[in-house]
Chain A
């Protein structure tokens, strides 16, 4: 029973490029959260999605960041025109039920912007 999968595990981009991070939730899970972790910091909530719906994006920067969770396929976190400050570890977590505290985390994608 595979856990939450994220790819790529490491991503290097130059300033101004686009970064696309993918998250496949656990089998049977239809709720996905994205978090960002800066060095020496805790994880910060970014966005909460259900299939085909964004439920809460209050933690996501208003510009350059977007997320989707289509009916088929993984959830995507997209960062356009990346800047050095976007360098961080991005984690997704999935759950079975809406608003549940039991979230299972993936291994994360480490984004480095040169």
Chain B
């Protein structure tokens, strides 16, 4: 049973365009919703995260939109740049489980920004 479904699997966006990646989850115990960015040969790094008490969070060119009723959250990258080319993972987390089971990663989205 796949708890986290991420889409699309891959995405090509022109420089300056908007990149949108979606994540749907099933576990209603999740209460922290981060996006991680991973470059080839590197470990994932936290990019931006949101808690369920707000519907949107913006940090620079990156925005998370959260829809609790639909159990979905998305990452928007504005004015996409070639340096944003990476793999992006959603990885929701549940505090109620004491964090013992770690982050639950989606399968990832390969984002390519064409110059």
Contacts and interface: CB of A to CB of B under 8 A. Distances in A.
Contacts of B44: 43, 91, 105
Interface residues of B, number: 27
A103 B101 CA distance: 13
Nearest to B44: A105
Contacts of B97: 99
B108 A41 contact: yes
A93 B46 CA distance: 12
A30 to B, nearest CB: 14
A106 B43 contact: yes
- Main secondary structure on B side of the interface with A: loop
B62 interface: no
A112 to B, nearest CB: 14
B32 A101 contact: yes
Contacts of B6: 42
Contacts of A108: 41-43
A18 interface: no
Given A41-B107, A41-B108, A42-B89, A107 B43 contact: yes
A59 interface: yes
A41 B44 CA distance: 13
Q: Which 9 A-B pairs have the closest CB atoms?
A: A99-B99, A42-B105, A105-B43, A45-B102, A56-B100, A99-B98, A101-B93, A43-B105, A101-B32
Interface of B: 4, 6, 32, 34, 41-46, 49, 89, 91, 93, 95, 97-108
